[in-house]
Structure 1
Amino acid sequence: MSSTSETRDFLWFLARLTIFVIVLRSFIMSPFNIPSESMQPRLLIGDYLLVAKWPYGYSRYSLPFSVPLIPGRIFASQPQRGDVVVFKAPPDQANDYIKRVIGLPGDLISVQRGTVMLNGQAIPKKQVADLVIPASANMVAASLKDGNPSPCYRVQFEEMTKNGRMCRYPQYRETLPNGKSYNVLDLDPDGPADDRETIMVPEGHLFLMGDNRDRSADSRFPAEVGGGIGLVPQQNLVGRAMISVFSTDGSAQWLLPWTWFTAARWDRIGERF
């Protein structure tokens, strides 16, 4: 076989591989990593997960670089309350965020003293065992970046144990009307979003919240770059969180290969949503 033929075959293989990857990431599933603490306790900084692209249909935001090839949303399906979704964050649709669906079109949502009110009824919120997690290297890095005094957000949540520096957070269990339950953190009883007036979710939009209620810029806040997201158009949905495939505490060093393994949080791999 001539070198020209080999080159042609190799380029054809690369072209087919590129098409396969584009189709896979656009219409089947794509990876997503967690950069912040907004979805603790379910998701930690350094978690990597797969996002299913088909559950809610497809829009331009399903495609790489949000190429405007799909008008509106096709094969659209509405999320369920409690779904954990990835979406393009308003107002500029420049970044992928991950939050939990709380309100659907037509729902009345308010927050009273940290309790979410859905259509006039409080979402049941029961205190459970504290969340205790290591103050990992990526939490330290995030706290320095945000200017927080502690990787545990506040020094009062820190404790030293025989296993090292830990964060202990008060944790609660919420249960939605459809029976879906999940844990949330409430770190500040008088946080800036613990009281919000009632709003109605308009058609084609969603009310989304982070599970770490005092560390999440979500639908409780107006949409502004670097701030809240307001009510999110369903067209902005990218997909539904499906399964955790890897997790690292941020302590790995490229020049020390064994740390690639010691930094992994193996017990978090395979967790489903």
Structure 2
Amino acid sequence: MTAKATVGSSILETVKTIVYALLIAGVFRTLFFQPFWIPSGSMKETLLIGDFLFVNKMAYGYSSASCPSLKFPGLGVDIDSSDICGFLDGDNSRILASEPERGDVVVFRHPVNQNDFIKRLVGMPGDKIQVKNGVLHINGAAVALQDAGDFEEIMAPQGPAGSYPLCENAPVGEGAVCKKSRQIETLPGGSQHVVLNIGNQGMDHTGVYQVPDGHYFFMGDNRDNSSDSRLPQSAGGGGFVPFENLIGRADRIMFSSAGRSMLFFWTWRGDRFFKGIE
């Protein structure tokens, strides 16, 4: 075999290895776990900007939303999940389906803009949901709330977007302590988690939402800084989310960085590595 043939064979083997690795990674991401970075503060303090987690896609079975979307505008690539897994579309159904539980932290595909959202499931099919004076009501009954002090963070740019937190004790100068009221919320069934409040906001007073069959109602734990099911999908909120749009359940934070890049090791949050999500 000539040297030229040897080089050609080596390049071919390298290309094959890369293709196989990509195929395996694609199958793994489609069927088992999908990586997800937390880009906003809508789920504080449960999830912080810069948390990195894997979404358990086996939890609720599979639908067209289970396939990843491939969007690279600079390269002209815009492939929606339905373009890959459209064969799974089927009247708001899933294969190997399992019902989510109230209190689950869920990643779902927005029914209109196709972006991935992560929120907490508070309303099941058939429920009546309302927020009165900042308190969540489910089927006419207020959820139990227990005061738990303040959530504190530094007023500074957060994450790659450099967004600033909203504070109950505003105005707050750069580098000062930003506070939010902190409460422990108990949902029907016993699921408990922390919710944060900043003040009297418009979304603290809503009408009654009747959750349709086959749909779910989601809210962010950072109640005054979350675009969720309280807002219609046309306004950027989640609205009522169909069963087929669920991607998976978030169970554990794998890694967390408070800086603008995961490479800034001095901003890593060591206390959040492998932290369970409640």
Place the TM-score, normalised by the shorter chain, in its bin.
0.7 to 0.9
What residue in structure 2 maps to residue 219 of structure 1? 229
SS at match of 2:217: strand
What residue in structure 2 maps to residue 183 of structure 1? 194
Aligned partners of 1:142, 1:120: CA distance in 2, in Å? 40
Taking structure 1 as the reference length, the TM-score comes to 0.86
For residues 253 and 7 of structure 1, do their structure 2 counterparts lie closer, same or farther at Cα, with a shift above 3 Å needed? Answer: closer
Aligned pair 1:168/2:179, yes or no? Answer: yes
Aligned pair 1:156/2:169, yes or no? Answer: yes
What residue in structure 1 maps to residue 73 of structure 2? none
For residues 5 and 27 of structure 1, do their structure 2 counterparts lie closer, same or farther at Cα, with a shift above 3 Å needed? Answer: same
CA shift digits 1:47-67 (9 cap, x unpaired): 111111110111111112202
Question: Aligned to 1:237, which of 242, 246, 250?
Answer: 246
What residue in structure 1 maps to residue 46 of structure 2? 42
What residue in structure 1 maps to residue 150 of structure 2? 130
Aligned partners of 2:42, 2:98: CA distance in 1, in Å? 26
CA shift digits 1:119-177 (9 cap, x unpaired): 1211111111211223343169544xxxxxxx3314725768xxx53222110110011
Instruction: Tell me which amino acid in the other structure corresponds to 2:50.
Output: G
Aligned partners of 1:215, 1:96: CA distance in 2, in Å? 17
What residue in structure 2 maps to residue 146 of structure 1? none
What residue in structure 2 maps to residue 228 of structure 1? 237
Aligned partners of 1:195, 1:37: CA distance in 2, in Å? 21
Aligned partners of 1:27, 1:7: CA distance in 2, in Å? 30
CA shift digits 1:169-192 (9 cap, x unpaired): 11011001111100001111x211
What residue in structure 1 maps to residue 11 of structure 2? 7
Aligned partners of 1:229, 1:252: CA distance in 2, in Å? 28
Question: Aligned to 2:269, which of 249, 261, 265?
Answer: 265
For residues 156 and 139 of structure 1, do their structure 2 counterparts lie closer, same or farther at Cα, with a shift above 3 Å needed? Answer: farther
For residues 252 and 234 of structure 1, do their structure 2 counterparts lie closer, same or farther at Cα, with a shift above 3 Å needed? Answer: closer
Task: Name structure 2 gaps, 5 residues minimum.
Answer: 70-80
SS at match of 1:229: coil
SS at match of 1:42: coil
Aligned partners of 1:52, 1:96: CA distance in 2, in Å? 14
The percent identity for this pair of structures is: 40
- How many positions carry a matched residue from both structures? 256
Aligned pair 1:64/2:50, yes or no? Answer: no
Task: Name structure 1 gaps, 5 residues minimum.
Answer: 144-150, 255-259
SS at match of 1:126: strand
For residues 136 and 43 of structure 1, do their structure 2 counterparts lie closer, same or farther at Cα, with a shift above 3 Å needed? Answer: farther
Aligned partners of 2:113, 2:176: CA distance in 1, in Å? 38
Contact residue 36 and residue 52 of structure 2 kept, 8 A: yes
SS at match of 2:249: strand
SS at match of 1:196: coil
- Deviation of residue 78 (structure 1)? 1.3
SS at match of 2:148: strand
Moved more, 102-111 or 193-202: 193-202
Aligned partners of 1:199, 1:229: CA distance in 2, in Å? 13
Question: Aligned to 1:90, which of 105, 111, 131?
Answer: 111
What residue in structure 1 maps to residue 212 of structure 2? 202
Aligned partners of 1:31, 1:179: CA distance in 2, in Å? 28
SS at match of 1:6: helix
What residue in structure 2 maps to residue 31 of structure 1? 35
Taking structure 2 as the reference length, the TM-score comes to 0.85
- Deviation of residue 242 (structure 1)? 2.0
- Deviation of residue 252 (structure 1)? 5.2
Contact residue 162 and residue 260 of structure 2 kept, 8 A: no
